[in-house]
Amino acid sequence: MGRYKNSDTLRGVKILVIFLFLVVSRGDCRVLVISVDGLRPDAVTTLGPELVPNFYRLRKEGAFTDNARTDYDYTTTLPNHTSMVTSRPVLGEDGHGLTVNSGGITTRVHVKGYTAGMFDVAHDHGYSTALFAGKAKLLAYQGSYDEVNGAPDETGVDHGRNKLDHAVYNGASPTLVTDFMTSMLEKRWDLSFLHLKAPDVAGHGFDWNLTPGSLYLASIQEVDGYLGQIFDMLDAHVELLGVPHVILTTDHGGTRGTRTHTTPDLPTNYTIPFYVWGPGVKEGADLYFLNPGFVDPGVSRPEFHSPGSPVRSTMVGNLALQLMGLPAIPGSSANLSQQFRVNDPPDFQSLYPGLNPDLDANRNGLKNFTDYLLGADPLGEDRPDLLPEMDGKFLVVSLRHNVTDVAPHVEISADGRIWGPLLEGVTFLRREARETPEGVRLTLEVPALLPRIFLRQVMKSGR
């Protein structure tokens, strides 16, 4: 096996580190979600950095893709914004079920029973929340999460049923943006949602036309101006507001010649941009590059639960909470694991100064076991010899028969530096080893007692 030759460079005892982040460390960052209604990704690239410098600031300083997807079944305003806020698809078992595209403060998102959203989780954890809507229909969230229709707060201190501390609709975007900035400086909203409608209005009125001088492109420049005002405010008030994370995406694109965007199987309607900007976000990075588990769909339209999910606007709610260090929305499904990456994996040496950096052969951090065992990139292999996976609270390690130089012995650490034995009843509850046709399957039931634990498997070298 060619791969084993790499083990010659390792010490006689090879170590293998599994890291389990059982609780993500709590962040202290505000998040501003901006939805630019009817924004086509190619409108930004058609205009370019000279004409829309603030969109390009998001691209240069943040991570993004021009090939994200809307919901599978819907490309309309209220259903798709509801997907953003709740991190659920529109239809299906886990869908929120709000299919109408009209409404207002009397509209409820609780079509299939109470439907929690990002405002619930943030507010229940004591963070302040605000909505600035450019269309009255988005006041559905104010009405759905008020002191009557919001759920009781059962998380720690009771912050009440009203999940939105502030909600305003203003059809005049310049005033809405000014109101947003004034309000932000006064109240320092932890989680805010700003809806800018200009491209949608231009598209419906004058076509989603990308030729120079079109009113649609002019509306993108108008939005770029608002982004510039917001960046100026943020730059000038770092002491007051910190540097927030900004997530910018849209509910749908729009199709030339139709003056609409309601057909969900048209690429021009379902292809949308997704930008993330802020502390720790990898500058200029492609979100698909940072997230190998998400697959760039090309021009296709993958179903919501198909394997190799594309980046979707539906992820907004759970990503916003992830960036705030908060758990996912109960009952949601998009980015439910909150493992979406906006930066590189942690640098191996900074995380584990006591360990030999050569063990991380492909420099991708602690991504997998086989890095450590073989010094090779198992992502490039069809059949890794050693495969770890979490199955609920069980850690399952499968060793193939042809791995002859391995005598598994597992140790545990809270910091990745000081290691001790793994004791049944203390650090794991139950251990089960089973022979399978392919090899050995080792299952450990791991109690979630520590905020973070590391397990390593000591390998006896056969060479």
Give the binding site for Zn ion (CB under 5 A).
200
Which residue lies nearer to Zn ion by CB, 264 or 416? 264
CA distance linking residue 182 with residue 13, whole number of Å:
61
CB 77 within 8 A of CB 137: yes
Q: How far is the CB of 180 from Zn ion (least distance, A)?
A: 21
What's CA 394's distance to the chain center, in Å?
A: 25
Q: How far is the CB of 98 from Zn ion (least distance, A)?
A: 16
CB 372 within 8 A of CB 425: no
Which residue lies nearer to Zn ion by CB, 121 or 138? 138
Which residue lies nearer to Zn ion by CB, 120 or 200? 200
CA distance linking residue 108 with residue 99, whole number of Å:
11
Within 13 Å and on the Cβ side, how many CA atoms surround 194? 27
Which residue lies nearer to Zn ion by CB, 7 or 75? 75
Q: How far is the CB of 55 from Zn ion (least distance, A)?
A: 20
Q: Which long-range contacts (CB under 8 A, 24 or more apart) does 419-424 make?
A: 419/456, 422/455
Q: How far is the CB of 223 from Zn ion (least distance, A)?
A: 15
Which residue lies nearer to Zn ion by CB, 201 or 403? 201
Q: How far is the CB of 30 from Zn ion (least distance, A)?
A: 29
Q: What residue has token string 């997704």?
A: 274
CA distance linking residue 250 with residue 270, whole number of Å:
10
Which residue lies nearer to Zn ion by CB, 200 or 207? 200
Strand arrangement of the beta sheet that strand 453-460 belongs to: 13-20, 453-460, 410-413, 420-421
Q: How far is the CB of 110 from Zn ion (least distance, A)?
A: 24
Name the residue with the smallest CB distance to Zn ion: 200
Nearest to 66, CA basis, from 322, 249, 201: 249
Bridge partners, 133 (sequence order):
169
Which residue lies nearer to Zn ion by CB, 80 or 144? 80
Q: What angle do CA 343, 278, 133 make, to 5 degrees?
A: 125
CA distance linking residue 371 with residue 456, whole number of Å:
13
Q: How far is the CB of 38 from Zn ion (least distance, A)?
A: 5
Which residue lies nearer to Zn ion by CB, 199 or 388? 199
CB 98 within 8 A of CB 78: yes
Q: How far is the CB of 255 from Zn ion (least distance, A)?
A: 11
